[in-house]
Structure 1
Amino acid sequence: MKKTFTIFLFLSTLYFNLLYAQSNGYYQEKYRPQFHFTPEKGWMNDPNGLVYYAGEYHLFYQHYPDKTVWGPMHWGHAISKDLVHWEHLPIALFPDSLGYIFSGSIVVDEKNTTGFQTGKEKPLVAIFTYHDMEKEKAGRTDRESQGIAYSLDKGRTWTKYSANPVLPNKGDVDFRDPKVFWHEQSQHWVMPLAVGQHLELFTSPNLKDWTFASSFGENDGAHGGVWECPDFFPIKAADGIEKWILIQNIGRGAINGGSGTQYFVGHFDGKTFKNDNPPGTTLWLDYGADNYAGVTWFNAPNKERIYIGWMSNWDDYAQSTPTSTWRSGMTVPRKLSLYKSEDEYKLSQLPVYQFNTLRNSGKMIGKMEINSEIEIDNQHIYKELILDFDLEKSSAGELGFILRNSKNEQLVFGYDKIKKEVFIDRTQAGISGFSEKFPKIHSAPMTDKKLKIRALIDNASIEVFVNDGKIAMTDLFFPNEYFTKTFLYAKGGKAILKSGNIYGLKRIWK
């Protein structure tokens, strides 16, 4: 009888979940992103454990399933075949006696260096930070350590290593976020780890025994806050030159306030990273306010570097944005590329090509002259704009596009000719009372003589890629009524649009 009741309860729950998933309201709460990944419920922050294996892209993430604010950290889990549509899987890692499960990474142990493999499936090994809240409450500085877990069934179930932690803490308050990779030339694993406001590198033959190798960053880059969530990888430019990229997220003091993502370009010999640029140089991956903790997929096809970030900002408002059953989303996955700019190499980024499958309806915009405002769309909430302005023939001091609703709320993306910068102005974009730091203008220097814009607009976010992704900007907004109207605008002269396209975008949730 008990077995029968259990089966009935399981089937009833499954039926309820299917009805919920198929209802018109599924994933359609106010401000719920329609083409960005979000958790079904509860809190989400950093992307974790990004790995590609057996035809599946795995996205793990910092997750508190019981509330929409930060709490005891778990690893949520989802998979995708195309980086666009996602299937939710059960929570992968739960807190235990060693602490909450903070951020980390997953590798495919192709050589079975751990000895975990028992069948044909290669071990997936998660390397993560334990955060011991009891030690934190006691004022101890050794509250964070590194542990591992492994899966032998394509990431569906996980076993924590019995001898955790594999890298204890000798007393650093911030000692976290391992992003592990295999260095073929040295035949060992490398663990970049954020420690205070610098990076430490450790090496291991087996993911279990770790040795300190070097440190970097005490005097390099930005230091407005704690360093977190590093990523470290090689990438080739079109000219065949290979560089190592160190992505280093920073908790406060980023280019446009609060948290943000800086990166470094240089060389790596298996143990030590050397920065190509002077210590005072700071390169920013995104000039908006709402892209943080981003990292790339391990083992992606064709050695592509596919990046995804958390769309929020720790400085003041991450836990207070006006959403209901869930909080926070991810950026769209982006392909990173290396290009040469004058005498230095930098990163560019664009949405992965698979994103184009979401284009639902298209409208071509011909060449036009704009002297004030011209409406180009009044139908789509979720859309993609592609605009190519002729700056040499444009006399306007400012030009760009405006998203607007019937309440006269608006979000502006523009180019300022005098300041030589592009900007997002969300000061009039709707609800902002949850934080005085939210209604701001965010800007990025732009000295190119062309202005090619690709903008992805969801119901409460915008991602803009300028000049083939050399500049990226990501911002949230919360209008009282969704923006359906789009205008091109010019101030202080005329703007010349060479060409453009507007695409409606399909939702990814079914």
Structure 2
Amino acid sequence: MSRSTTSEREQYRPHIHYAPAANWMNDPNGLVYFGGLYHLYYQYNPYASSHGNLHWGRATSTDLVHWEEQDVALPEREHQIFSGSAVVDWHNTSGFGKGGRPPLVACYTGHTADNQAQFLAYSLDQGETWTYHGGPVLDVGKTDFRDPKVFWHAKSRRWIMVVVHPVERQVELYGSFNLQDWESLSVFGPAGATGGIWEVPELFPLHDEAGRLYWVLKVDLNPGGPYGGSGAQYWLGDFDGQAFTATTPARWVDHGNDFYAALTWNDLPDRRVWLAWMSNWQYAHDVPTQGWRGAMVLPRELGVCADPHGPVLAQRPVPELQALRQAKTVRQGDGIFSLSPHQAHELLIRWPAMPAAEVKLEFRSEAGSEVSVEVRSGELWVRRPVTLVTSSLDGYPGDHRAELPLHLDQFDLQIFLDASSIEVFAGDGRVVISDLLFPSEQIREVDIQFGGSDPLSMEVEVWSLKSSYGV
């Protein structure tokens, strides 16, 4: 991927998060692991850094860390290519395969001004080139009916499609034996947060530490998120091949302002990993980047953890990111840590669980405080102040908070700071806050203060991280 070196263009260019070299990007699409590659498709406008003329952009990776941007996969045709998913049709149920090669099949929403329907495309060369498959395979004659996530359900030996009716705040499940003929199975919702339209559903199984199986249903909404803009909610429950039944209340996936449209990789053995768009529809068109607009969160490995209030989803940065670690500073106790310019950083902070303990991290540039992270009174806070750069972004400044799991013996914070974002993981991934960040000047230091007990009980590690783009 070519990268400009001009300071204006690259001031907020991520060092370790995926972003295309130019133009607009939003939802991840078609995440699938096939042929030793992680395939990432996404909503992409190849003509401008604004939403419109949507194609599927494409990138690939061997390790979830280093991404190579590829040519557009699915170009706009008589309709825009809205969000969807991709599967490996190992048994050639679709009939698209040839010569014993399993086809890669994409199911996406074709969007026109007066209709949204679900279409197919297929590839016989591991996603390099694609063939569109005729007309829609699922069309109910609605202007809002989109974002199909398709997966193989082994127990019922058929494909399942999870798709939303945005205005009705409903998720509908369909079944198929050939990816082309679909029958309705069940409808979920309205439920949980309904203050905005529903989008980008996801349904997948996870096991907890004891081996118990849960199904996770995730759906995004806009507006109506934790702070009025975009947000993502989930339920844990059961899926019998026909219907999803929630056994927990709806909870927020992420307590920040910039996590949307998450999807998991299909066909990834032995673990479940997802990726999301790191932005918010409140200000996505107005963020102060030049020539490009949109990035992804760091990929996260998913699990289910016990909690006094019931099982909860846990998200942990994939361990492959540790390959980016360079210089390391270790200290017991608080103080000021210098941060290397033009690099991303990872911070790990641990301390024994103490009800009165307070931790504050102040990230500063020469212009002053750019963002702060606080733990106090059993809550995690990320505070984004108003700056000259962000004063015109409606919905950007503010405090984002989440309750911490107080039953743990040790508290922990894992923080990733990049050129234009901060992601904070706490409670072994039970709590996450993801926020875009546009500092007035480059952040040069972090002041870490520990109160309420002996500061020497706190362990701090600060890593500078190599660029995942090799520059």
TM-score normalised per structure 1: 0.88
Q: In structure 1, what is the equivalent of residue 180 of structure 2? A: 208
How far apart are residue 119 of structure 1 and its match?
2.1
Q: 1:476-508 CA distances to partner (integer Å, 9 max, x unpaired)?
A: 111121111011125688755421211000011
Write the distance in 2 (CA, Å) between the matches of 1:237 and 1:391: 23
For the pair 1:199 / 2:171, whether they are aligned, the reply is yes
Aligned: 1:363 with 2:333: no
Contact 2:153 2:159 survives alignment (8 Å): yes
Deviations 1:354-410 (A, max 9, x none): 1000001111112x2x5xxx2122435410000013342x745x4221110111132
- What are the superposed Cα offsets for residues 138-177 of structure 1, whole Å, 9 maximum, x if unpaired? xxxxx10000000000000000002x20001233x32100
Q: Which one-letter code corresponds to 2:12 in the other structure? A: Y
Answer yes or no: is 1:65 the counterpart of 2:37: no
Separation of aligned partners in 2, 1:365 and 1:120: 57
2: CA distance, partners of 1:184 / 1:407: 56
Report the counterpart of residue 361 of structure 2 in structure 1. Answer: 401
Matched, 1:131 2:111: yes
Specify the alignment match of 1:382 in structure 2. Answer: 344
Counterpart of 1:235 in structure 2 is 206
| 1:47 to 2:28 alignment | yes
Alignment coverage as a number of residue pairs: 465
- Paired amino acid for 1:106: A
Question: Which position in structure 2 is the counterpart of 1:353?
Answer: 319
Whether 1:185 and 2:155 are equivalent positions in the alignment is yes
DSSP-derived class of the 2:368 partner? coil
Instruction: Name the residue aligned to 2:123.
Output: 151
- 1:225-282 deviations in Å (ceiling 9; x for gaps): 11111111111111010011111111111123311111111111111111112xxx22
How far the C-alpha of 1:58 sits from its partner, in A, is 0.3
Q: Percent identity?
A: 37
Alignment-mate amino acid for residue 401 of structure 1: L
Distance (Å, rounded) in 2 between the aligned partners of 1:145 and 1:406: 51
Map 1:304-323 onto structure 2 (within 5 A).
304-314=271-281, 316-323=282-289
Per-residue deviation, 1:301: 2.6
Q: Secondary structure at the match of 1:82?
A: coil
Query: Partner of 1:357: helix, strand, or coil?
Result: helix
Shift >2 Å, 4+ stretches: 23-28, 376-381, 489-498
Letter in 2 for 1:200: E
1:167 aligns with 2:135: no
Does the residue aligned with 1:50 lie in a helix, a strand or coil? strand
* Residue 249 of structure 1: aligned partner: 220
- Find 2:236's aligned residue among 255, 261, 265: 265
For 1:469 and 1:490, locate their aligned partners in 2 and report how far apart those are by CA, in whole Å: 21
Report the Cα distance in structure 2 between the residues aligned to 1:508 and 1:120, rounded to whole angstroms. 36
Q: 2:103 is aligned with what amino acid? A: P
Counterpart of 1:426 in structure 2 is 384
The one-letter code of the counterpart of 1:404 is R
The aligned counterpart of 2:308 is: 342
Compared CA separation, residues 118 and 127, structure 1 to 2 (3 A): same
3-state SS in 2 of match to 1:208: coil
Structure 1, unaligned stretches of length 5 or more? 1-16, 136-142
Counterpart-to-counterpart distance in 1, 2:216 and 2:394: 34
Structure 2 equivalent of residue 498 of structure 1: 458
> For 1:435 and 1:253, how far apart are their aligned partners in 2?
18
Instruction: Name the SS for the 2:283 alignment partner.
Output: coil
Q: Secondary structure at the match of 1:387?
A: strand
SS for the counterpart of 1:403 is strand
In the alignment, structure 2 segments of 5+ residues that lack a partner are none
Query: What SS does structure 1 have at the residue aligned with 2:136?
Result: coil
Contact preservation (8 Å) 1:456, 1:463: yes
What do you get for the CA RMSD once the two structures are aligned? 1.9
Give the letter for the 2:202 counterpart.
Answer: D
Per the alignment, residue 96 of structure 2 pairs with 116
Alignment-mate amino acid for residue 385 of structure 1: L
Matched, 1:329 2:301: no
* Cα distance change on mapping 1:215 and 1:244 into 2, 3 Å: same
* Structure with the bigger percentage of strand: 2
Structure-2 residue corresponding to 1:288: 256
Tell me, in whole angstroms, the C-alpha distance in 2 between the residues paired with 1:148 and 1:79: 21
CA shift for structure 1 position 87: 0.9
Point out the structure with max Rg over C-alpha.
1
- In structure 2, the residue matched to 1:30 is 11
**Contact 2:274 2:299 (C-alpha < 8 Å) held by counterparts:** yes
Question: Paired residue for 1:442, among 386, 392, 400?
Answer: 400
Whole-angstrom distance in 2 between the partners of 1:294 and 1:161: 26
For residues 404-483 of structure 1, what are the structure 2 equivalents within 5 Å? 404-417=364-377, 420-428=378-386, 431-448=389-406, 450-483=410-443
Cα distance between partner residues in 2 of 1:491 and 1:180 = 49
Distance 2:453 2:428 in 1: 26
The residue type paired with residue 260 of structure 2 is: Y
Whether the aligned pair in 2 keeps the contact of 1:387 and 1:497 (CA below 8 Å) is: no
Give me the TM-score of the superposition, normalised by structure 2: 0.95
